[in-house]
Chains A and B, each alone.
Chain A
Amino acid sequence: MLEVRDLHVKFHNRDREAVAGVSFKLNDGEILGLVGESGSGKSVTAMSIAGLLPRKKCSYQGEVLVDGEDMLHAKRALLRKVQGNKIGVVFQEPMSAMDPLMKVGRQVEEVLAIHTDLSAEERKKRAIQALTDVELPDPEAVYDKYPHELSGGMLQRSMIAAAIVSRPSLLLLDEPTTALDVTIQAQILKLLKKLNRKHKISMLFISHNLNVVRKLCSRVIVMQRGVIVEDGLTYNVFFKPQHPYTQHLIECIPARVKLIARRSMEEENASVDGDQAAGEAGKAETAVSSRQAGNTVKAGGEHYD
């Protein structure tokens, strides 16, 4: 679905490459975590995938393949067809990422106005459906609200609705929970997981917080100074980190949180195995256990995030 091959990005006004040879693959339906501190190149990688690099201000090479087509060097016209349509993006600050003077509903359906010939009523129907999908109470009322009339959590849900309204195959999440408080953060993570299962949307989840990534992603990539230092299943990265930088990151997480994490992840792993073995019957179980995992995590998160 998404493949990044030897990506290099260098901004003209910086000496060091922001991204210095990054390669990874994102499989269909996978949630991949991309972790690193600020300046590690994780956001620039995401921007390259979304076609949001300021091309005049930097030099770049490599390939970003979305369904086999290179986004990095694509012409504007091709890029436009993919943006919003195949790739949805959710940004960090929902308040500033939304146009303050446009009603939320109009922003949610903007993608449809650009990419489809749907009539206004159909667009509105789809937008309200999307707002329902992100579990907003009273989606019809939200449709007619201005951004300043909603809370941060509701806004971020609306942003997610806007990103999934055209049923994209890939969702880029650039620190979507960082600006929110812990309870809301846990709710949003739960929602994302649900959307991933329900609509089979692949997700690239970017965060500086390994513990948040751990709650959501099956696989994690750790970046430092523009290169990937670790790439593996979340469980392995979390408990058997190979690279000294990752080890250092893990050490920073308090022991009690690690304990809770281990318990919930092992539980989850078991249920995923069950899912693969038992097919349909196992699915319900997964949902239950993941909800339990969410709750435990919430309790831990409130103290240590």
Chain B
Amino acid sequence: MKYVVRRILALIITMIMVSFLAFAAFHIISGDPARAILGMNATESQLKVLRQEMGLDKPFMVQYLNWLIGFFTGNLGISYSYRQPVSELIAPKLKVTLLMVLISFVIIIVCSVPLGLRAAQKSRGRLEWLRTTIIQLCMAVPAFFLSILVSYVFGIIFKFFTPGDFPKIEKDLAGAVKYLFFAAVCIAIPRIAMAVRMLKSTLIEEMEKDYVRTAISRGNDRTEVLKKHVLKNSLVPTITFLGQTMAEIVGGSIVVEQVFGIPGMGRFLVASISNRDYPVVEALVVILAFWVILSGTLADLINQKIDPRLKLGGRA
């Protein structure tokens, strides 16, 4: 229990640091938000009124605290380009991205676990070099190139979906999932290759440990050793990897959304960066960073349940 509390405390501290860094960075670069909203023709008195309204006349730390409170109460400020609350703008887009990331995550787990087990079993086989080469190739193909191919082959030739015409989640959930599935595959493939590689080396490493010999000396055969001992021992690095994957695929989604024309968070982020719409960029950056920190913490908490040694603070 103590470990959990400590870990969550560390989580909160990192979140505060990250949000402070982001806020400070955007505070410096965004110049005068009042002018950004009202445009070059605004008069000085108009600007003054808006600045007061937005709290821009207050000291920096007060502004940060206001923003942080706003962040957790859903008040993320006003978009420069849309003149709408940021929270209203990004909520539907977050939903789309979240759905895609989850589909992708499921694909990664479903594919990589059996493939990884097989790769570990056959690691001394004659075709080992071929397997390694395929894995390296899958990691080498850029996600957006893959996306172009997939959207062309499955969208335009086979017409499984219409690229650029993303159905609304509320209206046609099945259609949206089908559309997102192909994008999710493109995000997943390089990660699957990495996962298989990681699983393979972890399992092989574990199989060579002394406790495996002990287990065999007790009358287990290799499959039983795998089930009773090795799998559990391989779980910790695997969960850590999955935590990182959870974080990485959100980054990967940015490009893939662009190619598939998915109205998600990544595409919105890129557009907002181009428009210099800082309140939106700021909110998205902090949300993404929180997502990364949360995945890492979640992985650590699960690992600590699996491996009691971690409680001693080895990695906390």
| Cβ A148 vs Cβ B308 within 8 A | yes
| Cβ B219 vs Cβ A83 within 8 A | yes
Besides the known contacts A99-B233, A100-B233, A159-B214, 10 further A-B residue pairs in the complex with CB atoms under 8 A apart:
A80-B219, A83-B217, A84-B217, A84-B218, A93-B210, A96-B210, A97-B210, A97-B213, A101-B229, A102-B232
| Cβ B211 vs Cβ A76 within 8 A | no
A selection of 10 A-B contacts at a CB cut-off of 8 Å is: A50-B217, A52-B216, A82-B219, A91-B214, A96-B210, A99-B214, A99-B229, A101-B233, A110-B228, A114-B219
Does A81 sit at the interface, judged by CB under 8 A? yes
| Cβ A97 vs Cβ B233 within 8 A | no
**Which residue of A98, A99, A110, A114 has the most chain B CB atoms within 10 A of its CB atom?**
A99
Does B315 sit at the interface, judged by CB under 8 A? no
Does A146 sit at the interface, judged by CB under 8 A? yes
| Cβ A85 vs Cβ B219 within 8 A | yes
Contacts of B233 in A (CB 8 A): 99-101
Question: CB within 8 A of A91: which of B210, B224, B228, B307?
Answer: B210
| Cβ A52 vs Cβ B215 within 8 A | no
Chain A residue nearest to B229 in the complex (CB): A99
Interface string of A70-113 (1 = CB under 8 A from B): 00000010001111110111010100111111100000001100
Q: What total count of A-B pairs have CB within 8 Å?
A: 71
Instruction: Enumerate B168-215 residues with CB–CB distance to A below 8 Å.
Output: 209-211, 213-215
Interface string of A24-63 (1 = CB under 8 A from B): 0000000000000000000000000011100000000000
Q: Give complex CA distance A83, B213 in Å.
A: 12
Residues of B that sit less than 8 Å from A by CB: 209-211, 213-221, 224, 228-229, 232-233, 306-309, 312
Contacts of A97 in B (CB 8 A): 210-211, 213-214
| Cβ A110 vs Cβ B309 within 8 A | no
**Which residue of B209, B210, B211, B229 has the most chain A CB atoms within 10 A of its CB atom?**
B211
Chain A residue nearest to B233 in the complex (CB): A101
Residues of A that sit less than 8 Å from B by CB: 50-52, 76, 80-85, 87-89, 91, 93, 96-102, 110-111, 114-115, 146, 148, 159, 162
| Cβ A115 vs Cβ B219 within 8 A | yes
Chain A residue nearest to B225 in the complex (CB): A99
CB B215 to nearest CB in A, in angstroms, measures 7
| Cβ B307 vs Cβ A96 within 8 A | no
Chain A residue nearest to B218 in the complex (CB): A84
| Cβ A99 vs Cβ B211 within 8 A | yes
| Cβ B211 vs Cβ A114 within 8 A | no
Chain A residue nearest to B230 in the complex (CB): A99
| Cβ A83 vs Cβ B211 within 8 A | no
| Cβ B218 vs Cβ A83 within 8 A | yes
Question: CB within 8 A of A114: which of B220, B229, B308, B312?
Answer: B220
Q: Give complex CA distance A190, B220 in Å.
A: 30
Q: Give complex CA distance A89, B195 in Å.
A: 36
| Cβ B215 vs Cβ A110 within 8 A | yes
CB B212 to nearest CB in A, in angstroms, measures 9
| Cβ B216 vs Cβ A110 within 8 A | no
| Cβ B221 vs Cβ A91 within 8 A | no
Contacts of A99 in B (CB 8 A): 211, 214-215, 229, 233
Contacts of A148 in B (CB 8 A): 308-309, 312
Q: Give complex CA distance A146, B217 in Å.
A: 20
Q: Give complex CA distance A82, B229 in Å.
A: 21
CB A277 to nearest CB in B, in angstroms, measures 40
Contacts of B214 in A (CB 8 A): 89, 91, 97-99, 159
Q: Give complex CA distance A20, B143 in Å.
A: 58
| Cβ A80 vs Cβ B221 within 8 A | yes
Q: Contacts A96-B211, A99-B233: A114 and B307 contacting too (C-beta < 8 A)?
A: no
Q: Give complex CA distance A50, B312 in Å.
A: 36
